[in-house]
Each structure stands twice: as structure tokens, then as C-alpha cells.
Amino acid sequence: MEAVAALYSKDQEALADAIFSSLSQVVFGVGAPKPASLPQRVMARLSYRLLKRTTVREKAGGEGDSIKVRNRLLERSQHPYARSLLASSSKETEALVEGGDPMNGPYMMIVPEIRAGAVLWDKLFFNSVQGKDVQLRFILETKATYLEAKARLDKGKNIRIKALAAGTGLSLILAYDQLIRDGYDSGRIFARITDRDESNTAKSSRLLGKLAVKRGWRLGVGAEAGIGAETEDIFHEAALGIDKENPFDVVTAVGILEYLQGSTCETTEQRHELEEMEEPATALHLVARLCDMTRRDGSLIVNTYRPHSSTRILELFGKRFDYRHVMNMNALLSGTQFSIPILVGSGHIYDVKIYKKEAS
């Protein structure tokens, strides 16, 4: 987690650049990592049983207040990821695995030098079944974004890329960096990272600022070309018409659909016989937004989230998910202008897929 802190800090420019460079070399220099092995999957089941026995849930206040989760093993670890599991930033996000630093932790373990210096709790959290699948999803998303953008640039066209609900947007930043290092003119590339959490986009902007100085990048503001980060609630009325008027060639919506109802094979609530409240924003609403913001002949990059024993660990801490196999994802996007998907790659939990929007 020290590497994550350095990456998004206001200073430590040289260290942040070194971490970013090492991460880029691994992402673009080697093949995709393998998902967790059988011994790791067995360990995940044993960990689930142990954590189930040692986790206690209690009300944090009066009626209607949030639930506080206690686990003495995780509390003793004093690990930042453990704290994020045990305490949410707000009542509205207590069912989510919140983005930002916790989700960037597994990405850092991709770098051999960081992995070699990791402590035991880093390895337990970030090289778990779920952690390795997150790493795999991250690499597949980054490479897919880069290749889709490169294909359009090679045809002499300009490119507009949007990373939707992207946390700190590290995947798009890596893809943009690779395009610039390939020699493409930054004036032909419009790339935007968006997230509803202002603290995430602030971290994105800090990292972009440091990298821009070191690498001579063009930072995009407003309608200008270049790369930038913006705070945006994709379901807010103010955002609905903007992208439709000026759609994107490549849109990524990774790590968001697993929190939205609609066209699922299973949900946490169904599995544990919990009350499932109807949500105002659903997966169907998001798909409609994605269709509007993607240009005809453009590409949409999304992921499935399949039921797996390792995700039950997160459910112990109040996290709730909407699970989908490939067939559920296809059903969700049926009736839109997206064609049959292309499989980029799969792990135990995630499939990363590209849906092409029909040209006419």
C-alpha cells in the first residue's frame, strides 16, 4: 500500500514515475498472468471458514444506522485493505468494495520489485483468488483499451476514450502512456477518466500532473485533447445529454455492473436470503447510458462477475454483488446496438469482453 500512497501523493515524483514505468513494462511486456492455482483456491475456502467464525456484525448506532463489522484477526493486521473492509466511508457505500487505494493495491503486486518486498498481509489480501483475478482483469482492460485506440489511430482517425466510474483511472493512464510512447500525436487523443468520488479524481489529477511533467504529456481540460480526470455521476440528469451529443470511440465500464441490479444469475441477497431493495439506478439504466455515449462502430469494454467461493469472503463484510455469466451479460445488452462480444480473457471470477456498436 506504500506504493499506492507514493503513486498518488502530492510529491515523490521520481518514485511515482518509477512505479508507473515498472507497471507499464509488466502490463505491456509479458502475457496475461494466470488465475489463482488450485492450492490458492483451497486456501480461499479455508480462509472463508475462518473469517466466518471470527467475524461479528453489530449495529453502529440506533435504528436505521449502518452495521459495524468486527474481526479481531483483520483488526490486528492494521492493514489498510483490512480497514477498508471493516469500515466504509459512508452508509451509502457500505455494500461496495470502494475504489481508490484499496482497489489499486492488487495492481501494485503485478510489479516484481514490489511483490518481492510485500509483507505477509499484502500477499494474503492482494495475491488471493480475488486479488489475482483483479490483476488479470486490470491487464486485460488496459491492453484492450490500448489496442482498440491504436486500431483507430492507425486508420488516420482521431480517438475519444472514456473510462467510466474508473476509480483513479490507472488503466486508461497506462494505455494513454503507451500510445504516446508509440509516437501518436497527443492532439489526436481525447481521453477522460470519470468517477463520482471527487477524492478519486483528485488522485488521478495528481498522478497525471506528475507524469505530465516527467513525460511531456498534454493534459486535457474541457473540450481540449489530451488526458484528464473529471468528477461525474453518470446517472445525474446533468450528464445525460453531454456524451450523446459528442460520443466516444472507446468506452470502458469495468468494475461497476456487479453493483447494479438487472439480468443476473444470482445476487448476494438471493444467496443469503436478504431483503433486496429496488434501486433507482439499475444495470439497464447504465446500458442505455453506455449505448448513448458510444459512437457507432465504437467499442464498449465491460466485465462479467461470476459467482465464486472467493467472493463469499467479501460478502461476510457486508459487500453485496449482482452476479452475471456471459449469457447474462449478453441478455443485458440484447436489444441495444451492440453486436456479439469478443472475449478478451477470463479468470475465475471475471471475463473481460468487447462489445462493438453496429455501424448503422
pLDDT digits (tens, 9 = 90+) for 300-314: 999 999 999 888 888
pLDDT at 275: 86
From 338, 327, 245, select the one nearest 286 (Cα to Cα).
338
Domain definitions of the chain by residue range: 130-356
Q: Provide the residue count of the chain.
A: 360
What is the pLDDT at residue 341?
92
pLDDT of amino acid 89? 44
pLDDT of residue 98: 52
Pick the CATH number of 130-356 from 3.20.20.70, 3.90.1170.50, 3.40.50.150, 3.40.640.10: 3.40.50.150
Residue 156: all three cell numbers together: 488516420
Chain CA centroid to CA 9, Å: 20
Those residues of the chain that have pLDDT short of 50 are 89-90, 93, 96
Q: Which pLDDT value is given to residue 93?
A: 47
Q: Quote the pLDDT of residue 66.
A: 62
Q: How far apart are CA 218 and CA 25, in angstroms?
A: 22
pLDDT value of position 102: 64
Do 214 and 20 form a contact (C-beta atoms < 8 A)? no
Cell triple for 268? 448476494
